[in-house]
Structure 1
Amino acid sequence: MAMTAYSNQAQAMMRDYLLADPLVPYTSVLIGVFLCKMAYDLTRILSSFYFKGYSSLTKIQRVEWNNRGMSSAHAIFIAAVSVYLVASTDLFSDQLNGPITFRSSIISTSALGVSVGYFITDLAMIFWLFPSLGGMEYVLHHTLSLVAIAYTMLSGEGQFYTYMILISETTTPEINMRWFLDTAGLKKSSAYLINGILIFVVWLVARIFLFLYVFYHIYLHYSQIMKMHAFGYYLTLTVPSVLFVMNAMWFTKILKGVMKTLSKWS
Protein backbone atom coordinates (compact mmCIF):
# COMPACT_ATOMS: atom_id res chain seq x y z
CA MET A 1 0.00 0.00 0.00
CA ALA A 2 2.78 2.41 0.93
CA MET A 3 4.66 1.56 -2.28
CA THR A 4 1.59 2.36 -4.38
CA ALA A 5 1.05 5.64 -2.56
CA TYR A 6 4.63 6.78 -3.15
CA SER A 7 4.46 5.66 -6.79
CA ASN A 8 1.33 7.75 -7.31
CA GLN A 9 3.01 10.63 -5.52
CA ALA A 10 6.00 10.43 -7.86
CA GLN A 11 3.78 10.42 -10.95
CA ALA A 12 1.76 13.36 -9.65
CA MET A 13 4.94 15.25 -8.81
CA MET A 14 6.31 14.74 -12.31
CA ARG A 15 3.03 15.84 -13.92
CA ASP A 16 2.60 18.85 -11.67
CA TYR A 17 6.21 19.92 -12.10
CA LEU A 18 6.07 19.79 -15.88
CA LEU A 19 2.78 21.64 -16.01
CA ALA A 20 3.78 24.14 -13.33
CA ASP A 21 7.08 25.39 -14.70
CA PRO A 22 8.09 23.89 -18.06
CA LEU A 23 10.49 26.77 -18.75
CA VAL A 24 13.03 25.54 -16.20
CA PRO A 25 14.01 22.21 -17.82
CA TYR A 26 13.36 23.06 -21.46
CA THR A 27 15.03 26.47 -21.39
CA SER A 28 18.09 25.03 -19.67
CA VAL A 29 18.37 22.35 -22.37
CA LEU A 30 18.36 25.02 -25.09
CA ILE A 31 20.93 27.00 -23.12
CA GLY A 32 23.05 23.85 -22.92
CA VAL A 33 22.95 23.38 -26.70
CA PHE A 34 23.84 27.06 -27.22
CA LEU A 35 26.75 26.87 -24.76
CA CYS A 36 28.05 23.77 -26.55
CA LYS A 37 28.05 25.62 -29.86
CA MET A 38 29.81 28.56 -28.21
CA ALA A 39 32.45 26.30 -26.61
CA TYR A 40 32.99 24.51 -29.95
CA ASP A 41 33.51 27.79 -31.81
CA LEU A 42 35.66 29.26 -29.05
CA THR A 43 37.92 26.19 -29.14
CA ARG A 44 38.27 26.58 -32.91
CA ILE A 45 39.09 30.30 -32.71
CA LEU A 46 41.58 30.02 -29.85
CA SER A 47 43.28 26.98 -31.37
CA SER A 48 43.74 28.68 -34.73
CA PHE A 49 45.44 31.62 -32.98
CA TYR A 50 47.56 29.86 -30.35
CA PHE A 51 48.31 26.43 -31.83
CA LYS A 52 50.32 26.62 -35.04
CA GLY A 53 49.67 23.01 -35.97
CA TYR A 54 45.88 23.42 -35.89
CA SER A 55 45.67 24.47 -39.55
CA SER A 56 47.69 21.42 -40.63
CA LEU A 57 45.24 19.00 -39.05
CA THR A 58 42.82 17.13 -41.27
CA LYS A 59 39.20 18.27 -41.37
CA ILE A 60 37.98 15.42 -39.15
CA GLN A 61 40.86 16.04 -36.72
CA ARG A 62 39.84 19.70 -36.40
CA VAL A 63 36.24 18.66 -35.78
CA GLU A 64 37.31 16.23 -33.07
CA TRP A 65 39.68 18.83 -31.61
CA ASN A 66 36.84 21.32 -31.28
CA ASN A 67 34.46 18.62 -30.04
CA ARG A 68 36.88 17.67 -27.27
CA GLY A 69 37.20 21.29 -26.26
CA MET A 70 33.42 21.40 -25.98
CA SER A 71 33.27 18.20 -23.92
CA SER A 72 36.00 19.48 -21.58
CA ALA A 73 34.04 22.68 -20.96
CA HIS A 74 30.91 20.68 -20.13
CA ALA A 75 32.86 18.31 -17.87
CA ILE A 76 34.38 21.14 -15.85
CA PHE A 77 30.98 22.81 -15.48
CA ILE A 78 28.93 19.79 -14.49
CA ALA A 79 31.61 18.30 -12.23
CA ALA A 80 31.92 21.61 -10.34
CA VAL A 81 28.13 21.87 -9.94
CA SER A 82 27.93 18.23 -8.84
CA VAL A 83 30.58 18.62 -6.15
CA TYR A 84 28.94 21.85 -4.99
CA LEU A 85 25.45 20.37 -4.68
CA VAL A 86 26.58 17.09 -3.11
CA ALA A 87 29.27 18.37 -0.75
CA SER A 88 28.62 22.08 -0.13
CA THR A 89 24.84 22.31 0.23
CA ASP A 90 22.22 20.63 2.43
CA LEU A 91 20.01 19.65 -0.50
CA PHE A 92 20.95 15.97 -0.28
CA SER A 93 21.86 15.84 3.40
CA ASP A 94 20.67 12.86 5.43
CA GLN A 95 19.93 15.29 8.24
CA LEU A 96 16.85 16.58 6.39
CA ASN A 97 13.50 14.88 6.62
CA GLY A 98 12.04 13.01 3.69
CA PRO A 99 13.50 10.59 1.13
CA ILE A 100 16.71 11.77 -0.51
CA THR A 101 15.41 10.38 -3.80
CA PHE A 102 12.77 13.13 -4.16
CA ARG A 103 14.90 16.20 -3.53
CA SER A 104 15.61 18.81 -6.19
CA SER A 105 15.91 22.55 -6.67
CA ILE A 106 15.79 25.05 -9.50
CA ILE A 107 19.60 25.11 -9.57
CA SER A 108 19.96 21.33 -9.65
CA THR A 109 17.29 20.95 -12.35
CA SER A 110 18.73 23.76 -14.49
CA ALA A 111 22.25 22.33 -14.36
CA LEU A 112 20.94 18.95 -15.43
CA GLY A 113 19.19 20.65 -18.35
CA VAL A 114 22.50 22.12 -19.50
CA SER A 115 24.02 18.63 -19.32
CA VAL A 116 21.12 17.20 -21.33
CA GLY A 117 21.79 19.86 -23.96
CA TYR A 118 25.43 18.75 -24.11
CA PHE A 119 24.64 15.05 -24.49
CA ILE A 120 22.09 15.81 -27.22
CA THR A 121 24.66 17.90 -29.10
CA ASP A 122 27.52 15.43 -28.69
CA LEU A 123 25.37 12.41 -29.54
CA ALA A 124 24.14 14.17 -32.69
CA MET A 125 27.76 14.83 -33.73
CA ILE A 126 28.72 11.21 -33.04
CA PHE A 127 25.89 9.92 -35.23
CA TRP A 128 26.58 12.50 -37.95
CA LEU A 129 30.27 11.57 -38.21
CA PHE A 130 30.04 7.94 -37.05
CA PRO A 131 32.40 6.32 -36.24
CA SER A 132 35.00 9.11 -36.43
CA LEU A 133 34.12 10.60 -33.03
CA GLY A 134 33.53 7.28 -31.26
CA GLY A 135 32.13 3.80 -31.75
CA MET A 136 29.15 2.01 -30.27
CA GLU A 137 30.55 2.18 -26.73
CA TYR A 138 30.26 5.99 -26.91
CA VAL A 139 26.74 5.72 -28.30
CA LEU A 140 25.76 3.41 -25.43
CA HIS A 141 27.41 5.62 -22.81
CA HIS A 142 25.83 8.83 -24.12
CA THR A 143 22.39 7.27 -24.63
CA LEU A 144 22.27 5.88 -21.09
CA SER A 145 23.50 9.19 -19.69
CA LEU A 146 21.01 11.21 -21.72
CA VAL A 147 17.99 9.09 -20.74
CA ALA A 148 18.94 9.02 -17.04
CA ILE A 149 19.73 12.74 -16.80
CA ALA A 150 16.64 13.78 -18.79
CA TYR A 151 14.38 11.66 -16.58
CA THR A 152 15.77 12.97 -13.31
CA MET A 153 15.65 16.52 -14.68
CA LEU A 154 11.97 16.26 -15.63
CA SER A 155 10.77 14.23 -12.64
CA GLY A 156 13.01 15.53 -9.86
CA GLU A 157 13.63 11.93 -8.79
CA GLY A 158 17.06 10.53 -8.00
CA GLN A 159 19.00 13.71 -8.60
CA PHE A 160 21.46 12.84 -5.83
CA TYR A 161 22.60 9.68 -7.63
CA THR A 162 22.71 11.50 -10.96
CA TYR A 163 25.03 14.13 -9.55
CA MET A 164 27.19 11.52 -7.83
CA ILE A 165 27.69 9.80 -11.20
CA LEU A 166 28.32 13.13 -12.95
CA ILE A 167 31.27 13.80 -10.62
CA SER A 168 33.04 11.17 -12.74
CA GLU A 169 33.18 13.78 -15.53
CA THR A 170 36.34 15.02 -13.77
CA THR A 171 38.19 12.45 -15.87
CA THR A 172 37.08 13.93 -19.20
CA PRO A 173 39.52 16.90 -19.42
CA GLU A 174 42.49 14.58 -18.78
CA ILE A 175 41.32 12.11 -21.42
CA ASN A 176 40.90 14.94 -23.90
CA MET A 177 44.30 16.39 -23.01
CA ARG A 178 45.87 13.03 -23.77
CA TRP A 179 44.35 13.15 -27.25
CA PHE A 180 45.43 16.79 -27.73
CA LEU A 181 49.04 15.99 -26.80
CA ASP A 182 49.08 12.92 -29.03
CA THR A 183 47.64 14.84 -31.99
CA ALA A 184 50.11 17.69 -31.44
CA GLY A 185 53.01 15.26 -31.66
CA LEU A 186 53.89 15.44 -27.95
CA LYS A 187 53.40 11.79 -27.13
CA LYS A 188 56.98 11.48 -25.85
CA SER A 189 56.87 14.62 -23.71
CA SER A 190 56.90 14.71 -19.92
CA ALA A 191 53.48 16.40 -20.05
CA TYR A 192 52.08 13.30 -21.75
CA LEU A 193 53.51 11.05 -19.03
CA ILE A 194 52.22 13.25 -16.20
CA ASN A 195 48.80 13.44 -17.83
CA GLY A 196 48.71 9.64 -18.16
CA ILE A 197 49.45 9.17 -14.47
CA LEU A 198 46.80 11.79 -13.63
CA ILE A 199 44.25 9.93 -15.74
CA PHE A 200 45.00 6.73 -13.82
CA VAL A 201 44.61 8.39 -10.40
CA VAL A 202 41.49 10.44 -11.20
CA TRP A 203 39.82 7.53 -13.01
CA LEU A 204 40.48 5.21 -10.06
CA VAL A 205 38.94 7.70 -7.63
CA ALA A 206 36.07 9.12 -9.73
CA ARG A 207 35.02 6.10 -11.79
CA ILE A 208 35.89 3.14 -9.58
CA PHE A 209 35.90 4.11 -5.89
CA LEU A 210 33.12 6.68 -6.30
CA PHE A 211 30.87 4.16 -8.04
CA LEU A 212 31.50 1.64 -5.27
CA TYR A 213 30.37 4.29 -2.79
CA VAL A 214 27.25 4.93 -4.90
CA PHE A 215 26.38 1.22 -4.78
CA TYR A 216 26.89 1.26 -1.00
CA HIS A 217 24.67 4.33 -0.68
CA ILE A 218 21.99 2.67 -2.80
CA TYR A 219 22.13 -0.35 -0.48
CA LEU A 220 21.70 1.83 2.61
CA HIS A 221 18.83 3.85 1.06
CA TYR A 222 17.15 1.05 -0.88
CA SER A 223 13.88 1.52 1.00
CA GLN A 224 13.74 5.12 -0.31
CA ILE A 225 14.66 4.07 -3.85
CA MET A 226 11.76 1.60 -3.84
CA LYS A 227 9.42 4.56 -3.41
CA MET A 228 10.43 5.99 -6.77
CA HIS A 229 8.47 5.57 -9.97
CA ALA A 230 9.24 2.18 -11.59
CA PHE A 231 11.20 3.76 -14.46
CA GLY A 232 13.32 5.83 -12.07
CA TYR A 233 13.82 2.80 -9.82
CA TYR A 234 15.23 0.69 -12.65
CA LEU A 235 17.35 3.57 -13.95
CA THR A 236 18.91 4.02 -10.51
CA LEU A 237 19.86 0.35 -10.36
CA THR A 238 20.77 -0.21 -14.01
CA VAL A 239 22.63 2.87 -15.26
CA PRO A 240 25.37 2.99 -12.57
CA SER A 241 25.91 -0.77 -12.99
CA VAL A 242 26.33 -0.59 -16.77
CA LEU A 243 28.56 2.48 -16.57
CA PHE A 244 30.68 0.83 -13.87
CA VAL A 245 31.29 -2.20 -16.10
CA MET A 246 32.33 0.11 -18.94
CA ASN A 247 34.53 2.14 -16.57
CA ALA A 248 36.23 -1.03 -15.34
CA MET A 249 36.91 -2.17 -18.91
CA TRP A 250 38.38 1.22 -19.83
CA PHE A 251 40.39 1.24 -16.59
CA THR A 252 42.17 -1.97 -17.53
CA LYS A 253 43.22 -0.32 -20.80
CA ILE A 254 44.39 2.79 -18.92
CA LEU A 255 46.40 0.65 -16.51
CA LYS A 256 48.07 -1.21 -19.37
CA GLY A 257 48.85 2.10 -21.09
CA VAL A 258 50.40 3.62 -17.97
CA MET A 259 52.53 0.52 -17.34
CA LYS A 260 53.67 0.50 -20.97
CA THR A 261 54.56 4.19 -20.89
CA LEU A 262 56.42 3.91 -17.57
CA SER A 263 58.41 0.93 -18.86
CA LYS A 264 59.52 2.96 -21.88
CA TRP A 265 60.53 5.94 -19.70
CA SER A 266 62.43 3.72 -17.26
Structure 2
Amino acid sequence: MEESTRMGYCIVAGSFVAFQFFFSAVSPQLSLALSRRYCSLNAVKKCEWNSRYRSPRGLRGAGQNPGVLHTDPSPRAPSPHSNPSLCVPIPDLLLLLRYWKTLGDSLFVCHHLVALYAYGYVLSRGVLPYFANFRLLSELSTPFVNLRWFFDTVGQPRSSWFVLANGLAMTVVFFLVRIAVIPSYYARVLAWYGTPEYARLGLAVQVAWIVPSLALEVLNLVWMYKIVRGFYRAFCRPRERKAACSHSD
Protein backbone atom coordinates (compact mmCIF):
# COMPACT_ATOMS: atom_id res chain seq x y z
CA MET A 1 0.00 0.00 0.00
CA GLU A 2 1.38 3.42 -0.96
CA GLU A 3 2.25 5.88 1.78
CA SER A 4 -0.29 8.45 0.54
CA THR A 5 -3.06 5.82 0.59
CA ARG A 6 -2.10 4.74 4.12
CA MET A 7 -2.14 8.37 5.20
CA GLY A 8 -5.60 8.79 3.67
CA TYR A 9 -7.02 5.85 5.63
CA CYS A 10 -5.44 7.15 8.85
CA ILE A 11 -7.02 10.55 8.24
CA VAL A 12 -10.41 8.89 7.72
CA ALA A 13 -10.14 7.12 11.10
CA GLY A 14 -8.75 10.16 12.88
CA SER A 15 -11.36 12.47 11.40
CA PHE A 16 -14.19 10.19 12.45
CA VAL A 17 -12.90 10.07 16.03
CA ALA A 18 -12.45 13.86 16.11
CA PHE A 19 -15.88 14.53 14.58
CA GLN A 20 -17.51 12.06 16.99
CA PHE A 21 -15.85 13.78 19.95
CA PHE A 22 -17.06 17.18 18.76
CA PHE A 23 -20.53 15.77 18.10
CA SER A 24 -20.87 14.08 21.50
CA ALA A 25 -18.91 16.33 23.86
CA VAL A 26 -17.97 19.73 22.47
CA SER A 27 -21.10 20.74 20.56
CA PRO A 28 -23.62 20.07 23.39
CA GLN A 29 -21.63 22.14 25.89
CA LEU A 30 -20.97 24.94 23.41
CA SER A 31 -24.59 25.00 22.30
CA LEU A 32 -25.84 25.25 25.89
CA ALA A 33 -23.60 28.27 26.39
CA LEU A 34 -24.63 30.02 23.17
CA SER A 35 -28.35 29.25 22.87
CA ARG A 36 -31.04 28.77 25.52
CA ARG A 37 -33.22 27.20 22.84
CA TYR A 38 -30.94 24.15 22.74
CA CYS A 39 -32.22 22.92 26.13
CA SER A 40 -35.80 22.72 24.89
CA LEU A 41 -35.03 20.64 21.79
CA ASN A 42 -36.02 16.99 21.68
CA ALA A 43 -33.42 14.24 21.18
CA VAL A 44 -33.89 14.16 17.41
CA LYS A 45 -33.37 17.90 17.01
CA LYS A 46 -30.38 17.91 19.36
CA CYS A 47 -28.76 15.14 17.33
CA GLU A 48 -29.18 17.08 14.10
CA TRP A 49 -28.10 20.32 15.79
CA ASN A 50 -24.82 18.75 16.92
CA SER A 51 -24.21 17.24 13.49
CA ARG A 52 -24.70 20.60 11.75
CA TYR A 53 -22.50 22.45 14.23
CA ARG A 54 -19.49 21.00 12.42
CA SER A 55 -20.17 22.91 9.19
CA PRO A 56 -16.76 24.69 9.09
CA ARG A 57 -15.33 21.33 7.92
CA GLY A 58 -16.49 22.25 4.41
CA LEU A 59 -14.49 25.44 4.44
CA ARG A 60 -11.54 23.57 5.88
CA GLY A 61 -11.72 20.86 3.23
CA ALA A 62 -12.09 23.23 0.30
CA GLY A 63 -10.27 26.31 1.49
CA GLN A 64 -7.06 25.15 3.10
CA ASN A 65 -6.25 22.52 0.49
CA PRO A 66 -3.83 23.77 -2.18
CA GLY A 67 -4.89 20.87 -4.40
CA VAL A 68 -8.21 22.61 -5.03
CA LEU A 69 -6.39 25.27 -7.02
CA HIS A 70 -3.98 22.84 -8.66
CA THR A 71 -3.15 24.23 -12.08
CA ASP A 72 -2.58 20.94 -13.89
CA PRO A 73 -5.89 19.17 -14.65
CA SER A 74 -4.21 16.06 -16.03
CA PRO A 75 -6.00 12.87 -14.86
CA ARG A 76 -2.71 11.60 -13.44
CA ALA A 77 -1.12 14.86 -12.33
CA PRO A 78 0.43 14.41 -8.86
CA SER A 79 -1.24 16.32 -6.05
CA PRO A 80 0.38 15.38 -2.74
CA HIS A 81 -2.03 17.53 -0.72
CA SER A 82 -5.24 16.19 -2.15
CA ASN A 83 -5.85 13.09 -0.05
CA PRO A 84 -6.58 14.75 3.33
CA SER A 85 -9.39 16.92 2.01
CA LEU A 86 -10.91 14.05 0.01
CA CYS A 87 -11.34 12.12 3.26
CA VAL A 88 -13.57 14.82 4.75
CA PRO A 89 -16.92 13.37 3.48
CA ILE A 90 -16.20 9.87 4.81
CA PRO A 91 -16.62 10.58 8.55
CA ASP A 92 -19.78 12.51 7.70
CA LEU A 93 -21.30 9.46 6.04
CA LEU A 94 -20.26 7.15 8.87
CA LEU A 95 -21.84 9.49 11.41
CA LEU A 96 -24.97 9.75 9.26
CA LEU A 97 -25.32 5.97 9.11
CA ARG A 98 -24.75 5.58 12.83
CA TYR A 99 -27.54 8.07 13.64
CA TRP A 100 -29.75 7.14 10.69
CA LYS A 101 -33.01 7.25 12.66
CA THR A 102 -32.50 10.92 13.48
CA LEU A 103 -30.24 12.19 10.69
CA GLY A 104 -31.40 10.00 7.81
CA ASP A 105 -31.84 11.83 4.50
CA SER A 106 -31.97 9.80 1.28
CA LEU A 107 -30.75 12.61 -0.98
CA PHE A 108 -27.88 13.39 1.40
CA VAL A 109 -26.89 9.71 1.55
CA CYS A 110 -27.01 9.44 -2.26
CA HIS A 111 -24.82 12.52 -2.52
CA HIS A 112 -22.20 11.04 -0.18
CA LEU A 113 -22.26 7.56 -1.70
CA VAL A 114 -21.81 8.91 -5.23
CA ALA A 115 -18.96 11.16 -4.10
CA LEU A 116 -17.22 8.42 -2.10
CA TYR A 117 -17.47 5.95 -4.97
CA ALA A 118 -15.45 8.33 -7.10
CA TYR A 119 -13.13 9.47 -4.28
CA GLY A 120 -12.25 5.85 -3.57
CA TYR A 121 -10.36 5.66 -6.85
CA VAL A 122 -8.57 8.93 -6.10
CA LEU A 123 -7.44 7.66 -2.70
CA SER A 124 -6.49 4.16 -3.82
CA ARG A 125 -5.02 4.83 -7.29
CA GLY A 126 -3.91 8.45 -7.14
CA VAL A 127 -5.87 9.46 -10.26
CA LEU A 128 -8.06 12.52 -10.98
CA PRO A 129 -6.84 14.65 -8.04
CA TYR A 130 -7.63 17.94 -9.79
CA PHE A 131 -11.21 16.97 -10.64
CA ALA A 132 -11.87 15.49 -7.21
CA ASN A 133 -10.67 18.64 -5.46
CA PHE A 134 -12.63 20.78 -7.89
CA ARG A 135 -15.81 19.10 -6.61
CA LEU A 136 -14.91 19.93 -3.01
CA LEU A 137 -15.38 23.64 -3.72
CA SER A 138 -19.11 22.93 -3.43
CA GLU A 139 -18.66 22.60 0.34
CA LEU A 140 -18.29 26.39 0.55
CA SER A 141 -22.09 26.57 0.48
CA THR A 142 -22.58 24.23 3.46
CA PRO A 143 -22.24 26.83 6.29
CA PHE A 144 -25.08 28.92 4.82
CA VAL A 145 -27.32 25.85 4.46
CA ASN A 146 -26.70 24.87 8.07
CA LEU A 147 -27.19 28.43 9.32
CA ARG A 148 -30.63 28.47 7.69
CA TRP A 149 -31.50 25.28 9.59
CA PHE A 150 -30.39 26.86 12.88
CA PHE A 151 -32.56 29.92 12.24
CA ASP A 152 -35.59 27.70 11.59
CA THR A 153 -34.90 25.57 14.66
CA VAL A 154 -34.67 28.50 17.08
CA GLY A 155 -37.87 29.95 15.62
CA GLN A 156 -36.33 32.97 13.96
CA PRO A 157 -38.90 34.59 11.62
CA ARG A 158 -38.01 34.05 7.98
CA SER A 159 -38.93 37.65 7.31
CA SER A 160 -36.14 38.97 9.56
CA TRP A 161 -33.38 40.76 7.70
CA PHE A 162 -30.51 38.47 8.74
CA VAL A 163 -32.46 35.34 7.80
CA LEU A 164 -33.16 36.89 4.41
CA ALA A 165 -29.51 37.97 4.11
CA ASN A 166 -28.34 34.43 4.85
CA GLY A 167 -30.89 33.09 2.35
CA LEU A 168 -29.60 35.42 -0.33
CA ALA A 169 -25.97 34.52 0.47
CA MET A 170 -26.81 30.81 0.43
CA THR A 171 -28.57 31.10 -2.92
CA VAL A 172 -25.72 33.07 -4.51
CA VAL A 173 -22.89 30.93 -3.10
CA PHE A 174 -24.69 27.65 -3.87
CA PHE A 175 -25.18 28.80 -7.46
CA LEU A 176 -21.57 29.95 -7.84
CA VAL A 177 -19.86 26.85 -6.41
CA ARG A 178 -22.25 24.15 -7.62
CA ILE A 179 -24.06 25.38 -10.74
CA ALA A 180 -22.03 28.14 -12.37
CA VAL A 181 -18.90 25.96 -12.40
CA ILE A 182 -20.56 23.21 -14.46
CA PRO A 183 -19.45 24.56 -17.89
CA SER A 184 -15.86 25.06 -16.69
CA TYR A 185 -15.71 21.59 -15.12
CA TYR A 186 -17.02 19.75 -18.17
CA ALA A 187 -14.89 21.81 -20.54
CA ARG A 188 -11.87 20.38 -18.73
CA VAL A 189 -13.39 16.89 -18.79
CA LEU A 190 -13.98 17.10 -22.55
CA ALA A 191 -10.44 18.34 -23.09
CA TRP A 192 -9.15 14.99 -21.79
CA TYR A 193 -11.94 12.77 -23.10
CA GLY A 194 -10.70 10.41 -25.82
CA THR A 195 -7.01 11.17 -25.29
CA PRO A 196 -4.44 8.38 -24.74
CA GLU A 197 -4.13 9.41 -21.10
CA TYR A 198 -7.90 9.11 -20.69
CA ALA A 199 -7.77 5.63 -22.25
CA ARG A 200 -5.02 4.55 -19.83
CA LEU A 201 -7.31 5.27 -16.89
CA GLY A 202 -9.35 2.16 -17.71
CA LEU A 203 -13.09 1.70 -17.88
CA ALA A 204 -13.65 1.45 -14.11
CA VAL A 205 -11.98 4.80 -13.42
CA GLN A 206 -13.67 6.42 -16.40
CA VAL A 207 -17.08 5.35 -15.10
CA ALA A 208 -16.18 6.53 -11.58
CA TRP A 209 -15.21 9.89 -13.05
CA ILE A 210 -18.10 10.61 -15.42
CA VAL A 211 -21.17 8.90 -13.91
CA PRO A 212 -20.86 10.30 -10.35
CA SER A 213 -20.18 13.75 -11.78
CA LEU A 214 -23.42 13.66 -13.77
CA ALA A 215 -25.33 12.27 -10.78
CA LEU A 216 -24.04 15.07 -8.56
CA GLU A 217 -25.14 17.67 -11.11
CA VAL A 218 -28.68 16.27 -10.97
CA LEU A 219 -28.70 16.45 -7.16
CA ASN A 220 -27.27 19.97 -7.19
CA LEU A 221 -29.88 21.15 -9.70
CA VAL A 222 -32.66 19.67 -7.55
CA TRP A 223 -31.28 21.41 -4.46
CA MET A 224 -30.80 24.66 -6.39
CA TYR A 225 -34.45 24.59 -7.43
CA LYS A 226 -35.56 24.02 -3.83
CA ILE A 227 -33.34 26.84 -2.55
CA VAL A 228 -34.59 29.33 -5.13
CA ARG A 229 -38.19 28.36 -4.46
CA GLY A 230 -37.70 28.72 -0.71
CA PHE A 231 -36.02 32.11 -1.08
CA TYR A 232 -38.79 33.31 -3.36
CA ARG A 233 -41.43 32.29 -0.82
CA ALA A 234 -39.59 34.02 2.03
CA PHE A 235 -38.59 37.21 0.21
CA CYS A 236 -41.03 37.90 -2.64
CA ARG A 237 -44.40 36.52 -1.57
CA PRO A 238 -44.78 38.64 1.60
CA ARG A 239 -44.15 41.76 -0.47
CA GLU A 240 -46.62 40.62 -3.10
CA ARG A 241 -49.27 40.14 -0.40
CA LYS A 242 -48.56 43.58 1.06
CA ALA A 243 -48.86 45.16 -2.38
CA ALA A 244 -52.16 43.35 -2.99
CA CYS A 245 -53.55 44.49 0.37
CA SER A 246 -52.49 48.09 -0.29
CA HIS A 247 -54.12 48.00 -3.71
CA SER A 248 -57.40 46.63 -2.29
CA ASP A 249 -57.47 49.35 0.35
CA distance in structure 2 between the aligned counterparts of 1:26 and 1:86, rounded to whole angstroms? 20
2:72 to 90, 93, 96: 93
Q: Structure 2 matches for 1:164-243, cutoff 5 A?
A: 164-188=134-158, 189-222=160-193, 223=195, 224-243=197-216
1:110 alignment counterpart: 84
Shift in Å at residue 232 of structure 1?
1.5
1:149 alignment counterpart: 119
CA distance in structure 2 between the aligned counterparts of 1:51 and 1:234, rounded to whole angstroms? 46
Which amino acid letter does the alignment assign opposite residue 233 of structure 1?
A: Q
1:262 alignment counterpart: 235
Shift in Å at residue 143 of structure 1?
0.8
1:47 alignment counterpart: 31
- Is it true that 1:61 corresponds to 2:32 in the alignment? no
CA distance in structure 2 between the aligned counterparts of 1:187 and 1:228, rounded to whole angstroms? 52
Which amino acid letter does the alignment assign opposite residue 214 of structure 1?
A: Y
2:60 to 77, 91, 96: 77
C-alpha distance after superposition, 1:151-199 (max 9, x if no partner): 2012110111111111001111110000001101113321111111111
The answer to whether the 8 Å contact 1:165/1:211 transfers is no
Structure 2 vs 1, CA of residues 20 and 165 (structure 1 numbering), >3 Å: closer, same or farther? closer
1:28 alignment counterpart: 11
CA distance in structure 2 between the aligned counterparts of 1:246 and 1:35, rounded to whole angstroms? 29
Q: TM-score, normalised by structure 2?
A: 0.86
Shift in Å at residue 36 of structure 1?
1.4
CA distance in structure 2 between the aligned counterparts of 1:160 and 1:244, rounded to whole angstroms? 18
Shift in Å at residue 249 of structure 1?
1.1
Shift in Å at residue 202 of structure 1?
0.7
Q: Which has the higher contact order (CA 8 A, sep 6+)?
A: 1
C-alpha distance after superposition, 1:44-96 (max 9, x if no partner): 221111111111111111110010112x13211111135x3233xxx4436xx
CA distance in structure 1 between the aligned counterparts of 2:150 and 2:20, rounded to whole angstroms? 20
Q: Helix, strand or coil for the counterpart of 2:113?
A: helix
CA distance in structure 2 between the aligned counterparts of 1:22 and 1:185, rounded to whole angstroms? 45
Structure 2 gap segments, 5+ residues each: 240-249
Structure 2 vs 1, CA of residues 22 and 245 (structure 1 numbering), >3 Å: closer, same or farther? closer
1:244 alignment counterpart: 217
CA distance in structure 1 between the aligned counterparts of 2:3 and 2:167, rounded to whole angstroms? 47
Structure 1 gap segments, 5+ residues each: 1-17, 95-99
In terms of mean alpha carbon deviation, does 189-198 or 126-135 score higher?
126-135
Shift in Å at residue 38 of structure 1?
3.6
Shift in Å at residue 210 of structure 1?
1.2
Which amino acid letter does the alignment assign opposite residue 49 of structure 1?
A: A
Aligned residues: 235
Shift in Å at residue 22 of structure 1?
5.0
CA distance in structure 2 between the aligned counterparts of 1:227 and 1:37, rounded to whole angstroms? 40
CA distance in structure 1 between the aligned counterparts of 2:100 and 2:16, rounded to whole angstroms? 20
Q: Quote the sequence identity (%).
A: 24
